[in-house]
Chain A
Amino acid sequence: MLELYTSEPNTFFLKPLIALAEKKAPFTAHYFDAANFAQFAPDFPTNLEAQLQLEREGPLLVHDGGLICSTSFMLEYISESLPGPSLMPADPCDAYRVRAWAQYLGASLGSVVPVLGCAKYLRPQLAALDPALVDRSIAAIEPVERRAGWLALRDGTYSADYLEAVNERLAAPVARIEKALREGPYLAGPDFSAADIDAYPMLRVLPDLAPVAVNTQATPCIADYLDRIGARDSVRAALGTAKTAHPERQFVPGLEASRWG
Chain B
Amino acid sequence: MLTLAEKGVAYESRYLDLLQFDQHKPAYLAVNPDGTIPAMVHGSQVFTESTPMMEYIDDAFPGPPLKPQDPAARWRMRWWMRFFDSYFAPSLSMIGWSIFIGPAARQRPPEELHAAIDRIPLESRRIAWRKALFNEFSADELAESKRRVAFATLALEKHLSRSAWVAGDSYSLGDINGFNLGYALPLSQPDQCNDVKTPHIMEWLRRIYERPAARETWAKGRTQMAARIKILERHPGA
A77 touching B72, Cβ below 8 Å: yes
**Residues of A close to B52: CB separation below 8 A:** 96, 99-100, 102-103
Chain A proximity mask over B111-122: 1 for CB below 8 Å, otherwise 0: 000000000001
Chain B: residues with Cβ within 8 Å of the partner, total of 39
**Residues of A close to B7: CB separation below 8 A:** none
B48 touching A70, Cβ below 8 Å: no
B79 touching A70, Cβ below 8 Å: yes
Minimum CB–CB distance for B150 against chain A, Å: 12
CA distance A52 to B90 in the complex (A): 16
B128 touching A95, Cβ below 8 Å: no
Tell yes or no: A191 within 8 A of B by CB. no
**Residues of B close to A80: CB separation below 8 A:** 71, 74
Tell yes or no: B127 within 8 A of A by CB. yes
**Residues of B close to A100: CB separation below 8 A:** 47-49, 52
B78 touching A95, Cβ below 8 Å: no
**Residues of A close to B74: CB separation below 8 A:** 76-77, 80
A260 touching B90, Cβ below 8 Å: yes
B72 touching A95, Cβ below 8 Å: no
Please report A residues at the B interface, Cβ cutoff 8 Å.
Answer: 48-49, 52-54, 63, 66, 68-70, 73-74, 76-77, 80-81, 92-93, 95-96, 99-100, 102-104, 106-107, 143, 172, 258-261
Which 5 A-B residue pairs are closest in the complex by CB-CB distance? A99-B52, A261-B127, A81-B71, A92-B59, A80-B71
Please report B residues at the A interface, Cβ cutoff 8 Å.
Answer: 45, 47-49, 51-53, 55-56, 59-60, 71-72, 74-76, 78-79, 82-83, 85-87, 90-91, 94, 122-124, 127-128, 131, 141, 144-145, 151, 155, 158-159
